[in-house]
Structure 1
Amino acid sequence: MSESLERRLERLELLYEVGIALSAEDDKDRLVERILLEAKKLCNADGGTLYLRTEDDQLRFAIMRTDSLGIALGGTTGKPIEFAPLPMFAKSGAPNEHNIATCAALRKESFNIPDAYDATGFDFSGTKRFDDEAGYRSQSFLTIPMVNHQDRVIGVLQLLNAKDPETGAVVPFREEEQRIVEALASQAAVALDNQLLLEGQKALLEAFIQMIAAAIDSKSPYTGAHCERVPVLTLMLAQAAVAADEGPFAEFTLTEEEWYELKIAAWLHDCGKVTTPVHVMDKATKLETIFDRIEMVKTRFEVLKRDAKIRMLEAQLEGDEEAKARFQREIAALDEDREFLVHANVGSEFLSDEAKERIHAIGARQYVEGKLKRALLDEDEIENLCISRGTLTEEERLIINGHMVQTIQMLEALPFPRNLRRVPEYAGGHHEKMDAKGYPRGMHAGDMSVPARIMAIADVFEALTAQDRPYKKGKTLSESMRILSFMKRDNHLDPELLDLFVRSGVYKDYAEKYLPDSLIDEVDEESILTTQPKAFEDLEEGLRARRKRTFLPEYEPLRRSVMGETRDGDEPDMPEQIREAAKSA
């Protein structure tokens, strides 16, 4: 068998192997690097460059290699290429055919130049300047456009200085070498185009997800930039877990796809809030709906004062000398009761049973409106004013917490590809607790993945330290960490992950970047690390299995499809307030 035929077979076999390898490569940087290196190998070239076409019709340097000069830039090296991209068109709009790479792209034609110093028709002045500075001679060039299935040039492959395999002398690229590199470029264009399409789809998906998160954050000032910062904190703690070389997370790792999956889940962790009625989410006082009904209550007190004054004047006309004193005492009592209700409406303090009795007594008083006697407070107003803590009724609290039901329902309805199948589980578990007393499923800690438990810590810590909420000031670092310590003790958070959060210094790194200096103070790390969780009973196995696939009974009425229908098509048995809020959402 002649050497020439044997060499041809070797090249064909290499081309076949390269084609298989290119189709299997899922990283763009590795792909462009492999394309260039295999092309160099096929032609025994000393150097080469691969350009990628940009959206504004420029050829960007993606990777450069010159073996004899030790140049290796771009690709997987991490070393940037400082050269400016090559414009395919002049500012006037005229095609730039002076540069051989842009000309190849514009004409979709290969160019084989035996010696650049003798070539005419192309501007090699930049190449010659480089040669003078580097003590090099760029002689033979093979420039091939990479064309995709839509007949669009997506890049240009350029090889430099073919070498004789025996003597090492620089020689022109042979026609046979050109044909086989053109075949490689054709295969490479398909593989690269697929990568660019996937990259574009990923960029579109991420932009869409971040747009949803931004919409949720802007929907209510009460959420601030929560959806934006939780992903940052989640990935920081996940990185600490991956970096751990001892302890419970020594074996924990995430592949590149799993990192992406966690990132997407973190951005979507509160997507169900798009269905939460704003008047519930933003309920700053107990009587607030579309407006704060305490103003209506104040108006009724003014009616009572008016009627008291009328009674006083009538009594004075009849000669009652005590009428004014009684009036003043009655007005003082009305003012006191009104201010009591105004204070109770804020919901900043725990409401005692005595206070609730007083609200009922005040509400029972009557005033006249349109010649009709009415109770000073209706049943709904009394119920809201008698909320023990905060501003939400139990029904409203279920609606707020129900955003997790909607998050899970929405995400489970999406046809995620295999590498994103765990997004619903990661995003839907950040309100679950170690002792199975969380929501909406009440899952046991052992049934929750590490990423889901990481997100739970990120969600709480961000909420505690946030300064952009109108209803509260951001807590100091020490206050926030002390609260996390209590949550560790009470089995709300994973104790091992919280210890890692402390030991790795993630909380400090986050604080230095996102908290003002006024909130960054000394944290008693030892106290947090020595806090021990309370003992709790494990759930019965059958119940644990059921909770993985169902919601807690109080949340089942909120199990609605993304189309606003119940899963079984029937109207669920749910409180009227929840039903109305769900409809308005």
Structure 2
Amino acid sequence: MQELNHAQIAQRLDQLTELSVALGASHDTDLLLERILLVAKSITNADGGTLYRPSADGRMLCFHLSVNDTLGLHLGGSSGKSADIAPVPLSGERGEPNLSSVAAYAANMRRSVNIADVYHADDFNFSGMRAFDQHFGYRSQSFLTVPMHDHAGELLGVLQLINARAPGKGAITTFSPTDQRFIEALAAQAAVVLTNQSLVRQLEELLEALVNLINIGIDEKSPYTGRHCQFVPELTMMLAEAVHETREGPMALFRMSDADRKELWLAGLLHDCGKITTPVHVVDKATKLQTIYDRIGLVDTRFEVLLRDAEIRALKQQLAGGDPDALRERLLQEQARLREERDFLRRANVGGEGMLDEDEQRVHQIAARRWTDPDGVEQPFLSADEVANLTVRYGTLTAEERAIINNHIVMTVRMLESLPWPKHLRHVPEFAGGHHERMDGKGYPKGLRGDEMSIPARVMAIADIFEALTANDRPYKTPKTLTEALQILGRFSLNGHIDPALFDIFVRRKVYLEFARRHLDPAQIDEVDEAAIPGYTP
């Protein structure tokens, strides 16, 4: 055994310092572990080394990486080669700690093991190592085994170095106490980095799980929004990637890092989280008269009363000596008119693209009819609230209900801005909260203009509209075909609603078609004449 001089110690300290910097900058755990093993081998001038990681259930030490200079072996890690090496049990059949394997002993006892010559060591079972030597014609001699544990005592791995070589001579020697201390310091440093990476990964997984939890809540509350919460993030990322790959035009400089992608994906998942506060009878309002139930049934009942009253009145007139044939003809005409009015209100109750002025006037005319309620009190046939709902021109929502729906984005922004986002996710509230803004400043909730909005927020606006137009699970509308949806988006690109440059990429890169093939009903995927799309030049 030869102790190190000052220059050699300084060189090792430099290697540890360089490794510290590399460990802090690395986010790839496998490459990080390989770097740790190679530096440990270099520091100690070892001929080979192996790294073990605990199994998911913590019962085994599993082979992860092995290198050996003499044999030219490099298994695991960046080599891409795997080895059929049996894992090492950490405990016996009765749960007692395994102390016969040197790697398991180091892990269980949390203690380094430094062996000068394994062929003269009786404390451990080295039958596997002897079989390895015989197979490869190798001679294992000195072993240094160092466990890696985190701050809570959890096992992270075991580092094992083989055959220390004397500097300059190449002769096999023992690992010195200084070697052991350096490797223990390296293992402790590596454990801190691995623990930090694990904690960050767990926190990211927890955050995404909480986001999915919110979406599950929205989905359970309203099955008509669950698909939207899943597909908008996907379509957002598809369009964002297409913009990222664009090399000309107004979006030529837009680029995303992996961190940017994670941030935008998370924002997409959260873009409608405020809907968890929206009353379900508004979110799911399939007809104009629907609240918790569809009130068209009440209107039908009133028509039944009028039909009954007409028949009773005709019978009374017949008993009073009226002409039966004339009375019957008049009754049939009156009942036909009532049934036609009932059918008209049923049609009016279904939301559409636009209600005609004459249909709106007819609702008011029918509302002016009188009927006698169960208490014998004469009432207008339709209440003021029913008239207001039945005369909604577009869709099924009144102005008040539309305001409630629109408030979901206000709640989304409030909810997201209340969270202490880390620096790499600080744009999530802006991305998620900006998908209802417009290029001309007429959007909500903040009335931002195009130059005040980030590109990812403008991307999400297009994804949100296209998904809503083509969704086939909405109770208040029929899904649009590709041609119909692109016609609407094209007009939006011309009237200041969406970004025309992004819409151009959406069409030119056929993002719409890729999404359609994944998720739309085949009946919606018609032949699109891109030259006929408003605002788009092929």
- The residue number in structure 1 matching 2:420 is 415
- The worse-fitting range, judged by mean Cα deviation, of 185-194 and 294-303 is 185-194
Instruction: Confirm or deny that 1:352 pairs with 2:356.
Output: yes
- 1:32·1:62 contact (CA, 8 Å) conserved in 2? no
For 1:342, the equivalent position in structure 2 comes to: 346
Query: Structure 1 residues 126, 519: CA separation in 2 closer, same or farther (over 3 Å shift)?
Result: farther
Q: Please give the residue correspondences for 1:186-205 in structure 2 after superposition, counting only pairs within 5 Å.
A: 186-205=188-207
Aligned with 1:346: secondary structure?
coil
- For residues 408 and 379 of structure 1, do their structure 2 counterparts lie closer, same or farther at Cα, with a shift above 3 Å needed? same
Counterpart residue number, 1:244: 246
Q: For residues 38-117 of structure 1, what are the structure 2 equivalents within 5 Å?
A: 38-57=39-58, 58-67=60-69, 69=72, 71=74, 73-74=76-77, 86-90=88-92, 92-116=94-118
- What aligned pairs does 1:141-160 form with structure 2 within 5 A after superposition? 141-160=143-162
Unpaired runs of at least 5, structure 2: none
Q: Match for 1:71: what amino acid?
A: H
What letter matches 2:242 in structure 1? A
Cα distance in 1, alignment partners of residues 127 and 526 from structure 2: 61
Q: AA paired with 2:420?
A: P
What aligned pairs does 1:379-394 form with structure 2 within 5 A after superposition? 379-394=384-399
* Match in the other structure for 2:467: 462
Encode CA deviations 1:543-585: one digit per residue, 9 max, x unaligned.
xxxxxxxxxxxxxxxxxxxxxxxxxxxxxxxxxxxxxxxxxxx
Relative to 1, partners in 2 of residues 1:55 and 1:121: Cα closer, same or farther, differing over 3 Å? same
Match of 2:536 in 1: 531
Deviations 1:118-150 (A, max 9, x none): 554545555556666666655543221112222
Deviation at 1:329, TM superposition (A): 1.5
Residues 1:36 and 2:41 aligned together: no
Bigger drift between 229-238 and 508-517 goes to: 508-517
Secondary structure in 2 aligned to 1:461? helix
User: Is contact 2:431–2:454 with CA below 8 Å preserved after alignment?
Assistant: yes
The CA deviation string for residues 234-283 of structure 1, in whole angstroms up to 9 with x for no partner, is 22222233333444333322233322221211111110000111000000
Q: Work out the CA distance in 2 between the residues paired with 1:121 and 1:516.
A: 69
Per the alignment, residue 218 of structure 1 pairs with: 220
Assess, with a 3 A threshold, how the Cα gap between structure 1 residues 132 and 393 changes in structure 2: closer, same or farther.
farther
Residue aligning to 2:295: 293
Structure 1 residue 201 displacement after superposition: 1.2
2:329 is aligned, of 314, 321, 325, to: 325
C-alpha distance in 2, partners of 1:110/1:366? Answer: 95
Q: Check whether the contact 1:66–1:72 (CA below 8 A) recurs between aligned residues.
A: no
Cα distance change, pair 505–137 in 1 and its aligned pair in 2 (3 A): farther
User: Measured at CA, do residues 481 and 354 of structure 1 come closer, stay the same or move farther in structure 2, by a change above 3 Å?
Assistant: closer
User: Judging changes above 3 Å, is the alpha-carbon distance between structure 1 residues 79 and 250 closer, same or farther for their aligned structure 2 residues?
Assistant: farther
In the alignment, which of 354, 358, 365 is matched to residue 361 of structure 1?
A: 365
Structure 2 residue matching 1:41: 3-state secondary structure: helix
1:444-473 residue CA offsets vs partner (Å, 9 max, x unmatched)? 111111111121122223333334444455
Q: Which residue identity is paired with 1:314? A: K
SS at 1:142 equivalent: strand
Take 1:275 and 1:125, find their aligned partners in 2: how far apart are those partners? 66
Contact kept, 8 Å, 2:286 with 2:475, in 1: the verdict is no
> Helix, strand or coil: the match of 1:167?
coil
Name the CA distance, whole Å, in 2 between partners of 1:85 and 1:225. Answer: 44
Secondary structure of 1:225 counterpart? helix
Check the 8 A contact 1:224/1:468 in 2, yes or no: no
Do the aligned residues in 2 keep the contact of 1:217 with 1:226 (CA within 8 Å)?
A: no
Counterpart CA distance in 1 for 2:407 and 2:80 is 45
Output one character per residue of 1:388-413: Cα deviation in whole Å (capped at 9) or x when no partner. Answer: 11111011111112111110111111
Bigger shift: residues 367-376 or 112-121? 112-121
Q: Name the residue aligned to 1:262.
A: 264
Which residue in 1 is equivalent to 2:179? 177
- When residues 365 and 467 of structure 1 are mapped into structure 2, their CA distance, relative to the original with a 3 A threshold, is closer
Confirm or deny: 8 A CA contact 1:286 1:347 kept in the other structure. Answer: yes
Q: Which amino acid aligns with 2:354?
A: F
State how far apart, in whole Å, the 2-side matches of 1:228 and 1:411 are.
Answer: 18
Stretch moving more, 410-419 or 487-496? 487-496
Question: How far off its partner does 1:117 sit?
Answer: 5.4
Number of residue-to-residue matches in the alignment: 531
Q: What TM-score, normalized to structure 1?
A: 0.82
What percentage of aligned pairs have identical amino acids?
51
Between the aligned partners of 1:190 and 1:331, the Cα distance in structure 2 is 84
User: How big is the shift at 1:11?
Assistant: 1.9
Distance in 2 (CA, whole Å) between partners of 1:3 and 1:402 is 71
Against the structure 1 CA distance between its residues 496 and 10, is the aligned structure 2 distance closer, same or farther, given a 3 Å change threshold? same
CA distance in 1, matches of 2:137, 2:462: 58
User: Hey, what does 1:228 align to over in structure 2?
Assistant: 230
Letter in 1 for 2:5: S
Quickly say closer, same or farther: Cα 1:273–1:134, change in 2 above 3 A: farther
Question: How far apart are the structure 1 equivalents of 2:95 and 2:285?
Answer: 58
2:286 to 275, 278, 284: 284
Closer, same or farther: CA 241–150 of 1 in aligned 2, 3 Å: same
2:491–2:534 Cα contact (<8 Å) kept: no
Query: What SS class does the counterpart of residue 402 from structure 1 fall into?
Result: helix
Letter in 2 for 1:42: I
Structure 1 Cα separation of the partners of residues 289 and 24 of structure 2? 63
Point out the more displaced range, 428-437 or 120-129: 120-129
- Amino acid in the other structure paired with 1:345: N
Match of 1:513 in 2: 518
1:210, CA displacement in angstroms? 1.5
- When residues 325 and 213 of structure 1 are mapped into structure 2, their CA distance, relative to the original with a 3 A threshold, is same
Instruction: Give the 3 Å change call, closer, same or farther, for CA 508–318 of structure 1 in structure 2.
Output: closer
Query: Residues 512 and 314 (structure 1 numbering): CA distance in 2 closer, same or farther, change over 3 Å?
Result: closer
* CA shift in 2, pair 1:116/1:459, >3 Å: farther
Instruction: Report the alpha carbon displacement of residue 443 of structure 1 after superposing the two structures with TM.
Output: 1.1
On the 8 A contact 2:92/2:98 being kept in 1, the answer is yes
Question: Please, which moves more after superposition, 3-12 or 336-345?
Answer: 3-12
CA apart distance, 1:529: 9.3
Residue of structure 2 equivalent to 1:11: 12
Q: Structure 1 residues 526, 374: CA separation in 2 closer, same or farther (over 3 Å shift)?
A: closer
CA distance in 2, matches of 1:386, 1:466: 25
| SS of corresponding position for 1:154 | strand
The amino acid that maps onto 1:185 is A
The question of 1:480 aligning with 2:485 is answered yes
How big is the shift at 1:365? 1.0
TM-score, normalising length from structure 2?
A: 0.89
Alignment equivalent of 1:427, drawn from 397, 407, 432 = 432
Q: Is the 8 A contact 2:100 2:124 kept in 1?
A: yes
Please say if residues 221 and 470 of structure 1, whose CA atoms lie closer than 8 Å, have aligned partners that are also in contact. Answer: no
On the 8 A contact 2:218/2:226 being kept in 1, the answer is no
